[in-house]
Amino acid sequence: MRSVFLGPPGAGKGTQARMIAADGTVLHLSTGDLLREEVNAGSALGLKAKRFMDDGKLVPDELVFEILFAKLGLGKGMARAFILDGFPRTRAQALELDRRLAAVGLPLVAVVNFVTSEDAAVARLSSRLVCRNCQAAYNARTARPARDGICDRCGGELYRRHDDDPDVVRVRFQEYRQKSAELVAYYQQSGLLRNVDAELPVAEVVRQLRQQVFAKK
Ligand code: AP5
């Protein structure tokens, strides 16, 4: 299963991708997580990406391509099953992904579009907590960790993402609205797109994904 998870900030892409990938059979790659790792490591790429991320803007394609395609492998030993979470975000990124996957004869199989209202997503992000170590997402209102401030999965420290500040969230949404229409249309035309109601409870969304997208043949 080679898949892409699309959707606005706070739609639950990362939460669902982590649940699907938890059994180790699917590689989960989030461009947001990969970029934050670079920022935290203080790499040259991270320094360039940081100012775009802090402002809620998309990071330039060449930086995102460098980091994502290196992780994906795209050659011998490449993961046969993956979820790309938060990539592509533009039609240009989708075209580049298709070109690279076609070159290795492993095209995408499914594109999941997480559909949610801006109000619902903003409400979630205003109370999201993220693990500094494994990047698992929690929610101070609806999905609290067992111990305050500590990740259930790895014991890491939980923090609030700088770009979950309401002003930055609004810019991220604006970016999403501007870029997503032609991206969704592109995947609709390809016949790969499946819409998921991302406002359903977490357990119901993952049940639908497992049944409709990730069912073992
Ligand atoms: P990124 O980290 O990818 O942010 P995003 O796409 O805006 O997505 P989020 O991580 O905010 O949300 P999510 O959908 O994963 O929701 P989550 O599961 O955490 O990108 C950050 C930045 O990096 C971008 O702004 C950009 O600068 C740069 N970047 C990244 N990719 C790029 C690219 N391809 N090109 C250029 N730049 C790029 O859930 C959110 C909250 O909701 C949590 O608290 C969770 O517990 C809760 N929740 C989840 N599901 C449910 C549910 N069903 N019901 C109730 N609560 C739920």
172 catalytic, yes or no? Answer: yes
Whether residue 13 lies in the annotated active site: yes
- CB of residue 126 inside a 6 A radius of ligand 1: no
As a whole number, the mean pLDDT across the chain is 92
Pocket probe mutation, ligand 1, options 37, 40, 54, 58, max atoms within 8 Å of Cβ:
58
142, 113, 133: which is closest to 205 by C-alpha? Answer: 113
Nearest ligand 1 atom, CA 15? 18
> pLDDT tens across 103-126, in order?
888 899 999 999 999 889 889 999
Do the bridges between strand 158-159 and strand 193-197 make them parallel or antiparallel, or are there none, so unpaired? unpaired
- For 6-63, how does the pLDDT look when each residue is reduced to its tens digit (9 = 90+)? 999 999 999 999 999 998 889 999 999 999 999 999 999 999 999 999 999 999 999 9
Structure tokens at 68: 């994502």
Segment 77-103 shows an average pLDDT of 92
Residue type, 12: G
Band of residue 166 on the pLDDT scale cut at 50, 70, 90: confident
- Identify the residue whose C-alpha is closest to ligand 1 atom 40: 10
The model's confidence at residue 216, banded by pLDDT at 50, 70 and 90, is: low
| Alpha helices (runs of H) in 22-165, residue ranges in sequence order | 31-41, 44-54, 61-72, 91-103, 118-126
Does any ligand 1 atom lie closer than 6 A to the CB of residue 46?
A: no
Mean pLDDT across 55-82: 88
Q: What is the pLDDT of residue 202?
A: 95
- Work out the widest C-alpha separation in the chain, in whole angstroms: 47
Span of 71-85, 105-119, 198-212 with lowest mean pLDDT: 71-85
